[in-house]
Amino acid sequence: MSRIGKLPVTIPAKVEVKVDKNTVHVKGPKGELSQRIVDGVTVKVDGSSVLVERATNQKNHRALHGLYRSLINNMVIGVSTGFKKQQELVGVGYKASNQGQMLDLVLGYSHHFVFELPKEIKVTTKQDKGGNPTIILESADKQLVGQVAAKIRSLRTPEPYKGKGIKFTGEILRRKAGKSAAKK
């Protein structure tokens, strides 16, 4: 049996979990999320916990067992506390600003990047004196925050020589030695 799949998902206070046929709805203070469940996996709400069970021991049912437990767990965490991603813009002249859901990025190209974010994501930008510009993305949906953060990062991925680009806060980049290291 799946080690992750057999663990119950605990439901914190102020969070509601409802199961309708093959859809799980989770509602909390940070928002509302839903997830469709395929046949072969059943979800039961038992008091203050959610149990995920599989119908058979087939390979695809075993794989989906742990997957849906993790998805439901992420939904419960998302609607209760939320998810947050922080990104830094490292480079001379790099800037970030936002007007509502529009993110305006200056990344060293001849043009600005204007990025429209989904309404489910809250974005804030900050620029500390002497520090790098920072983009903060917050939402109840973990998958959506990660996907948007990856899309923003793909506009200017960090390069290995100087480390310029968009990186996650706390990320350690693998740096390469330049030409001068080869001359010795």
- What span, in angstroms and rounded, lies between the C-alpha atoms of 117 and 150? 13
pLDDT score at 63: 87
pLDDT score at 142: 95
List domains and CATH numbers for the chain: 9-80 (3.90.930.12), 83-168 (3.90.930.12)
pLDDT score at 21: 87
In the structure encoding, which two tokens stand for residue 103, read together? Answer: 């993110």
Tokens 């020589």 correspond to what residue?
161
By C-alpha distance, which of 72, 90, 98, 99 is closest to 156?
90
By C-alpha distance, which of 122, 118, 116, 117 is closest to 30?
122
- What span, in angstroms and rounded, lies between the C-alpha atoms of 107 and 97? 12
pLDDT score at 47: 87
Tell me which H or E stretch contains 18: strand 16-20
pLDDT score at 183: 63
Q: pLDDT (tens digit, 0 to 9) for every residue of the chain, 184 residues total?
A: 468 888 999 999 999 999 998 899 999 999 999 999 998 899 999 889 999 999 888 888 888 999 999 999 999 999 999 999 999 999 999 999 999 999 999 998 999 999 999 999 999 999 988 889 999 999 999 999 999 999 999 999 999 999 899 999 998 889 888 887 656 5
- What span, in angstroms and rounded, lies between the C-alpha atoms of 43 and 50? 7
First to last CA, the chain: 57
* Cβ-contact 49, 90 below 8 angstroms: no
* Cβ-contact 94, 171 below 8 angstroms: no
Count of CB atoms within 10 A of residue 35's CB? 15
